[in-house]
Amino acid sequence: MTQSVIELAVTDQDRRVAWLATAAVALSLVDAAIPSPLPGVKPGLANIVTLVVLTRYGWGTAVWVSGLRVLAGSLLLGFFLAPGFFLSLTGTTLSLLTLGLARHLPARWFGPVSLSILAAFAHIGGQLLLARAWLIPHDGVFLLTPVFAGAALVFGTINGLIAAKLLAEPEPAETTHV
Amino acid sequence: MHWLSLIRPGDWLMMLAGLATVGGSIPIFWQGGLADRAIIRQEGKVFAEVDLRSRKQFEVGGPLGTTLIAVEPGRARIVSDPGPRQYCVRQGWLMRPGEIAICAPNRVSLQIAGRTKVYDSISY
């Protein structure tokens, strides 16, 4: 094999992020395949991965996994740098910031379900604000807010429950991935 | 049920807060409530104010001829108008408070009103 000039040292952390991001991208694709009555109303299954990563490996890893998911997911689905990409990016950024604050809530009282609901609301809130500011500069955008908020609550709760279920199981051994 | 055991006490609070947010957002974003009246104007003066639970037809006379208006439960429309461009007819059924169809050439307008007044615009 030709000797490479640049040697990239791949750490265990890199491998972990790559695997988790792959799982998140796969769930994004499943998400996109589910028909939705309204653009914007989506289950957001990939957020389950974000929640599990946040609890197991911390906020930094969650940011990496989410960021890679938005990037790779948009490339695979063909909307990279299209309006949908920026909506996705804004929603993800806001929900990550919210999660960064919300993870300091006492864990005895607030579990993944709370985090998931907060993240879902932040996600749709960010998307609505960007849509209002950039895509449709008219207050008519907000007409569907109650529908979006309702969807955020329902899907946030369901995703939170799934994340809580996954987190209740024992942590997988690190070496099985490699 | 083991799914319920995954929900911590604060999670219930968070769900309630979420429900309150959704419930609270409805009156904020769906202001004006339900459409309950149709107001027909001719030359700017109120020609008729109709309850949107009834089913009626109106013939409103203007400088060009007769504008025909239909009112049905929950909606109203301009059926025909002698105006040249037919904008008000093409608007179709009006259902939400604040919606208005104006037949400017014949000086007739049809507006939907709710319990509270919705403003088109506000300036200071």
pLDDT digits (tens, 9 = 90+) for A85-109: 999 999 999 999 999 999 999 988 9
User: What residue ranges do the domains of chain A occupy?
Assistant: 12-176
What is B37-113's CATH topology? mini-chromosome maintenance (MCM) complex, domain 2 (2.60.320)
pLDDT at residue A3 is higher than 80: no
In B, minimum Cα distance to A148 occurs at B22
B4–chain A Cβ distance below 8 A for any pair: no
A104–chain B Cβ distance below 8 A for any pair: no
3-class secondary-structure state, position B18: helix
B121–chain A Cβ distance below 8 A for any pair: no
Non-local (6+) Cβ contacts of B37 within 8 A are: B49, B50, B51, B52, B112, B113, B114
Which of A117, A143, A165 lies closest to B18 in CB terms?
Answer: A117
In A, minimum Cα distance to B16 occurs at A153
Are the Cβ atoms of A153 and B8 closer than 8 angstroms? no
B119–chain A Cβ distance below 8 A for any pair: no
pLDDT tens for chain B, residues 1 to 124: 578 888 999 999 999 999 999 998 888 777 655 678 899 999 989 999 998 888 999 999 999 999 999 999 888 999 999 999 999 999 999 988 788 999 999 999 999 887 666 666 666 6
What strands lie across the sheet with B66-72, from one edge to the other?
B56-61, B66-72, B75-80
Question: Counting one residue from A and one from B, how many pairs have CB atoms under 8 Å apart?
Answer: 68
Q: Which of B3, B7, B14 to mutate to test the interface with A (most CBs of A within 10 A)?
A: B14
- Residues A127-168 have pLDDT tens digits of 999 998 998 887 778 888 999 999 999 999 999 999 999 998
B111 vs A12: CA distance, rounded Å: 66
Average pLDDT, chain A: 90
DSSP state for residue B31 in the 8-state scheme: T
pLDDT of the residue at B31: 63
pLDDT at residue A115 is higher than 90: yes
pLDDT of the residue at B121: 64
Are the Cβ atoms of B10 and A110 closer than 8 angstroms? yes
Domain A12-176 sits in CATH 1.10.1760.20: yes
pLDDT of the residue at A166: 92
Beta bridge partners of B45: B42
pLDDT at residue A69 is higher than 70: yes
Smallest Cα distance from A1 to chain B, Å = 51
Non-local (6+) Cβ contacts of B70 within 8 A are: B56, B57, B58, B76, B77, B78, B79
Binned at pLDDT 50, 70 and 90, residue A178 comes out as: very low
A102–chain B Cβ distance below 8 A for any pair: no
B20–chain A Cβ distance below 8 A for any pair: no
pLDDT at residue A55 is higher than 80: yes
In B, minimum Cα distance to A108 occurs at B8
Q: Is the dihedral of CA A133, A138, A143, A144 positive or negative?
A: negative
Which contiguous run of DSSP H or E holds residue B108?
strand B108-113
Nearest to B74 by CA among B40, B112, B102, B29: B112
Average the pLDDT over each of A7-11, A28-32, A103-107 and give the range with the smallest value: A7-11
pLDDT at residue A84 is higher than 50: yes
What percent of chain A clears pLDDT 70, i.e. is strictly above it? 96
B71 vs B77: CA distance, rounded Å: 7
Number of neighbouring beta carbons within 10 Å of residue A49: 25
B25–chain A Cβ distance below 8 A for any pair: yes
A44 vs A119: CA distance, rounded Å: 11
pLDDT of the residue at A24: 95
Smallest Cα distance from A9 to chain B, Å = 40
What strands lie across the sheet with B37-42, from one edge to the other?
B45-51, B37-42, B108-113, B100-103
